[in-house]
């Protein structure tokens, strides 16, 4: 297996563990803030609509400027968002944080996908994307288990810090390594 694909698999692992840790406890977290589970839908909507509206713009800017910069901006914002989850105390604050989360994802995702397309080989692209999907799905499952321990024994704030740290680490790693990959 090529070294570049191994790097992508590790980055995918970091992304999935960071994001996967939040999933199982997000509704509980929102319930504590809003005392109403319907707010989960509104907060998800704020996130996904923001991602959908901004991804083409940030993707175009990443093509023109630097994909690495958008990876780093997206990962850094994801880390900040994870920390902000720990201080959110109202529905309005949660919606604003989810909009920032959407901005972070819209910065990171198009640049990451473009780099993935550049790194994967045309001949084996389906297989290599299959490996990336596989590591992602398995890691989401493992992240749920890890999140259970973190949430139970360390609390929600620790869960947010762990999650954001994994996301930031994936951005930094890929940003640092991408120049080495492209120089070959």
Does residue 33 fall inside a structural domain?
yes
Does residue 58 fall inside a structural domain?
yes
Does residue 106 fall inside a structural domain?
yes
Looking at residue 180, what is its pLDDT?
Answer: 52
pLDDT at 64 over 90: yes
* Residue of 4, 1, 8, 3 whose CA lies nearest to 136: 8
Does residue 46 fall inside a structural domain?
yes
Pairwise CA distance, residues 134 & 60, whole Å: 28
CB atoms within 10 A of CB 27: 13
pLDDT above 90 coverage of the chain, percent: 49
pLDDT in tens, 34-51: 888 888 899 999 999 999
Does residue 147 fall inside a structural domain?
yes
Q: Are 115 and 12 in contact (CB under 8 A)?
A: no
Which comes out higher in pLDDT, residue 176 or 77? 77
Q: CA dihedral defined by 109, 161, 35, 140, rounded to 10 degrees?
A: 50
Q: Are 78 and 18 in contact (CB under 8 A)?
A: yes
Q: Are 84 and 100 in contact (CB under 8 A)?
A: yes
Average pLDDT for the chain = 89
Q: What is the CA radius of gyration of the chain?
A: 17
pLDDT at 117 over 70: yes
CATH code of the domain covering residue 126: 1.20.1250.20
Q: Are 2 and 120 in contact (CB under 8 A)?
A: no
Q: CA dihedral defined by 154, 158, 162, 167, rounded to 10 degrees?
A: 150
Does residue 184 fall inside a structural domain?
no
Query: Residue 142: which domain range?
Result: 3-177
Does residue 182 fall inside a structural domain?
no
First to last CA, the chain: 16
Burial 34-66 (b: 16+ CB within 10 A, else e): beeeebbebbeebbeebbeebbeebbebbeeee
Q: What is the mean pLDDT of residues 83-106?
A: 94
For 127, phi and psi rounded to 5 degrees? -65, -45
Number of domains in the chain: 1
Q: Are 172 and 78 in contact (CB under 8 A)?
A: no
């Amino acid at each position: 297996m090529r070294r570049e694909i191994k790097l992508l698999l590790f980055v995918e692992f970091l992304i999935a563990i960071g994001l996967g840790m939040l999933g199982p406890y997000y509704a509980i977290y929102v319930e504590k803030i809003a005392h109403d589970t319907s707010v989960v839908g509104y907060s998800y909507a704020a996130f996904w609509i923001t991602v959908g509206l901004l991804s083409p713009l940030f993707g175009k800017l990443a093509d023109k400027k630097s994909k690495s910069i958008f990876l780093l901006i997206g990962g850094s914002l994801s880390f900040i968002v994870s920390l902000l989850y720990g201080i959110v105390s109202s529905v309005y604050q949660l919606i604003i944080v989810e909009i920032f989360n959407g901005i972070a994802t819209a910065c990171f995702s198009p640049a990451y996908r473009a780099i993935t397309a550049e790194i994967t080989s045309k001949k084996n692209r389906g297989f290599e994307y299959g490996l990336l999907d596989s590591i992602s799905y398995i890691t989401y499952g493992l992240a749920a288990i890890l999140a259970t321990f973190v949430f139970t024994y360390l609390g929600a704030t620790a869960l947010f810090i762990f999650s954001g740290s994994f996301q930031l680490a994936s951005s930094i790693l890929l940003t640092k390594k991408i120049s080495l990959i492209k120089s070959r």
